[in-house]
Amino acid sequence: MMTRRIVFTVNRQEHMLEVDVRESLLDVLRDRLDLTGVKKGCSVGECGACTVLIDGEPFDSCIYLAVWADGKQIRTVEGEAKDGKLSKVQAAFLEANAVQCGFCTPGLVMTTTALTESDHSYTKQEIKKELSGHMCRCTGYHNIIKAAEKALQDKGEQDHDCCGKCHQ
């Protein structure tokens, strides 16, 4: 087994780990860091349940090698709520009743979070396209799209770590 030491930040906390060079980021997050909000679905990058943000961009962590995360900023659904308060995206998913069984929800929340943090304004069709890499077996996607639209409407009020001036 060939291993490599990596240093990366997950949900604002730095980690140094020795990882097998063949180990997926999904397995490291779930099995080594106990971040079980990252779901193991298809294991081939098709369902989106394992989506995390890597340097602000959504990736399927099941097909992303852990060694590639060296030096990167990783965000999982566990890191989105702050001080016990849900993020705007998480709240929008609850308000729109877009959670059903919840298995796909963390990945959808992370992709939607990336959309809200971009400079782009999305049409309904573009939202559907951006979320098309996620499979949900419980819904017809209507409430999921509604939640994403709500989160994007609230885009100017997004939760973020900053100097605090924007909240005064």
Averaged over 113-125, what is the pLDDT?
96
Q: What percent of the chain has pLDDT over 90?
A: 87
What's the pLDDT score for residue 162?
45
Predicted TM-score (pTM) of the model is 0.90
pLDDT band at 159 (very low <50, low <70, confident <90, very high): low
CA distance 108 to 85: 19
- What residues does each domain of the chain span? 3-79, 88-157
Q: What is the pLDDT of residue 72?
A: 98
CATH class entry, domain 3-79: alpha beta
- Considering the four listed CATH numbers 3.40.50.1110, 3.40.50.2300, 3.40.50.12780, 1.10.150.120, the one that applies to the domain covering 88-157 is 1.10.150.120
pLDDT of 1: 86
Reported as a single tens digit per residue, the pLDDT across 48-85 is: 999 999 999 999 999 999 999 999 999 999 999 999 99
